[in-house]
Amino acid sequence: MFIYITKRLLWVIPTILTVLLILFSLSYLLPGDPADIILGPRATPEMAEELNRRLGLDKPWYQSYLIYLKNIIKGDLGTSIFRNRSVLKVILDVLPYTVILTLAGMGLAVFNGISIGLLAANYNNSYFEKFLTMISFITASTPTYIAGVLLIVVFSVNFNLIPSIGIGEGGFLSSLHHLIGPALALSVGWTGYIARLTRSSMLETLDQEFIQTEKSFGIPRYYILYKYALKKAIKPIIAVIGLGIGRLLGGAVFVEVIFNRPGLGRLIVNSVNERDLPMVRGGVLAAALLFVIANLVADISYAYFDPRIKQK
């Protein structure tokens, strides 16, 4: 298990390096002089010269890439043009909101999805199952922003049940209240996906021979369903959770904009609109890191459920 995790961790490094290379090359790919782009329109020639020296932009690209890497390792992601603050600080300010939102959304999706999927598998071939299957199919094809907009129209505008803006002012309950709508909106698409996956995986598992053996030895149905079959059937679901967290991170962009919440997604969208290159770079790096970590966690938890990998 330990060796597996180490291997998996090492595999992350080339990916991260490439992501960094792409982000680094952004300043060359964008039209105009890199220093001007990084400093923004208010820069004086002296500032540009100073920056060129500091970032090594006057040296060959690979040297300045190394300098870029060194700065990142030191935690220096540059200064936001638009906010005139350290990029790292801005990101660290909003990051918790996005992480909490994503985890809450995934939690809801996993819980609701598995429940719906189990119900559907349990009542296979009934009208109730057809109804659940339809629900999962529709939710699985609902874009996050549609879910968000509909939630606001119905629950905020019509019934005034959930707040449509912001993160709440202090207090745990207020934050939680403000989290309901966004997390629900974020979870909708994956709820359907996980429900469908759970159902098909459960049915496939229940069809296998060991389930018959267990049955023939007199183990009760509920026990077979929720212990033996579920643990086997849950594997593909674990496998998609990492993927799902990545997708939900993407969905968080929309949710944060729609519900007007601070967060990484909204930060990146705004910086793209503001042409704030250091901020875009930093935000994308943070998002890519989160994505990679999510995949890593998923792989490791997957290994935990598959003893064959665990032993290696």
Partner 1 sequence: MFKSQKFFRFKKKSARVIKKMIKDYKAHLGGSIILLILISAIFAPLIAPADPYKTNVTKRLEGPSFENLLGTDSLGRDILSRLIYAARPAVLVSFGGIIISVIIGIILGLLAAFVGGILESIILFIFDVIRAFPPIILILVLLSIIGPSLLSVIVILGVTIMPRYGRVVRAETLSEKEEDFVEAARSLGADNSRIIFKHILPNIFASVLVLSGMDMASMIMWEAGLSFLGLGLQPPLSSWGVMLQESYQYIQTAPLMILWPTLAIMMTMLGFSTFAESLRVALNPKLNQEV
Partner 2 sequence: MPDKILKINDLAVEYKNKGKYLRVLQDIILELDRGEILSLVGESGSGKSTLGKTILRLLPDSARIAEGSIFFKGQDICNLSEKDFNDQIRGQEMAMVIQNPQNALNPVFKVGTQILDVLYFKSKKQKSRKELKKEAVEILKKVGISDPEYRFGEYPYQFSGGMKQRVMLAMAFISNPSLLIADEPTTALDLTVEAQILNLLSNLVEEYKTSILYISHDLGVVAGLSDRIAVMYAGRIVEVAQTRELFDHPNHPYTEALLNCLPDYQKTEELQTIPGQVPDLENYPAGCNFHPRCSYSFERCRHEDPRLEEIASEHFSACFLNDR
Segment lying near partner 2 (by CB under 8 A), choices 73-81, 108-116, 171-179, 299-307: 299-307
What are the tokens at 293?
A: 């970590």
- Which residue, 219 or 243, is less far from partner 1 as judged by CB? 243
Angle subtended at Cα 255 by Cα 268 and Cα 115, rounded to the nearest 5 degrees: 130
What separation in angstroms does the CA of 245 have from each of 162, 170, 179? 24, 27, 17
Contact between 46 and partner 2 per CB under 8 A:
no
State which amino acid sits at residue 176. L
What are the tokens at 195?
A: 């429900």
Report the nearest approach of partner 1 to the CB of residue 145 (Å): 5
Contact between 166 and partner 1 per CB under 8 A:
no
Contact between 204 and partner 2 per CB under 8 A:
no
Contact between 222 and partner 2 per CB under 8 A:
no
Given candidates 47, 219, 272, 297, which one binds partner 1 under the rule CB under 8 A? 272
- Taking the C-alpha atoms of residue 204 and residue 286, their distance in angstroms, rounded to an integer, is 38
- Taking the C-alpha atoms of residue 187 and residue 148, their distance in angstroms, rounded to an integer, is 10
- Taking the C-alpha atoms of residue 105 and residue 113, their distance in angstroms, rounded to an integer, is 12
Q: Classify residue 4 by burial, with Cβ atoms within 10 Å: 0-12, 13-18, 19+.
A: middle
Contact between 97 and partner 1 per CB under 8 A:
no
Report the nearest approach of partner 2 to the CB of residue 233 (Å): 10
- Taking the C-alpha atoms of residue 26 and residue 265, their distance in angstroms, rounded to an integer, is 19
What mask, x for binding partner 1 by CB under 8 A, covers residues 135 to 154?
Answer: --xx-xxxxxxx--xx-xx-
- Which residue, 42 or 308, is less far from partner 2 as judged by CB? 308
Segment lying near partner 2 (by CB under 8 A), choices 47-55, 180-188, 228-236, 279-287: 228-236
Quote the DSSP letter at residue 86. Answer: B
What are the tokens at 244?
A: 């799902």
Quick check: helix, strand or coil at residue 79?
strand
Contact between 307 and partner 2 per CB under 8 A:
yes
Quick check: helix, strand or coil at residue 78?
coil
What are the tokens at 270?
A: 């705004």
Contact between 53 and partner 2 per CB under 8 A:
no
**Region 101-160 residues binding partner 2, contact defined as CB under 8 A:** 124-125
Contact between 269 and partner 1 per CB under 8 A:
yes
The residue among 194, 201, 198 whose CA lies nearest residue 245 is 194
Dihedral over Cα of 220, 222, 227, 231: its sign:
positive
Task: Name which of partner 1, partner 2, none residue 69 binds, using a CB cut-off of 5 to 8 Å depending on partner kind.
Answer: none
Report the nearest approach of partner 2 to the CB of residue 112 (Å): 24
Task: Name which of partner 2, partner 1, none residue 307 binds, using a CB cut-off of 5 to 8 Å depending on partner kind.
Answer: partner 2
Q: Which residues bind partner 1 (CB under 8 A)?
A: 15, 18-19, 22-23, 26, 29-30, 137-138, 140-146, 149-150, 152-153, 157-158, 196-197, 200, 236, 246-247, 249-251, 253-254, 257-258, 265, 268-269, 272-273, 275, 280, 284, 287-288, 291-292
- Footprint on this chain of partner 2 (rule: CB under 8 A): 124-125, 207-221, 223, 227-228, 231-232, 235, 305-308
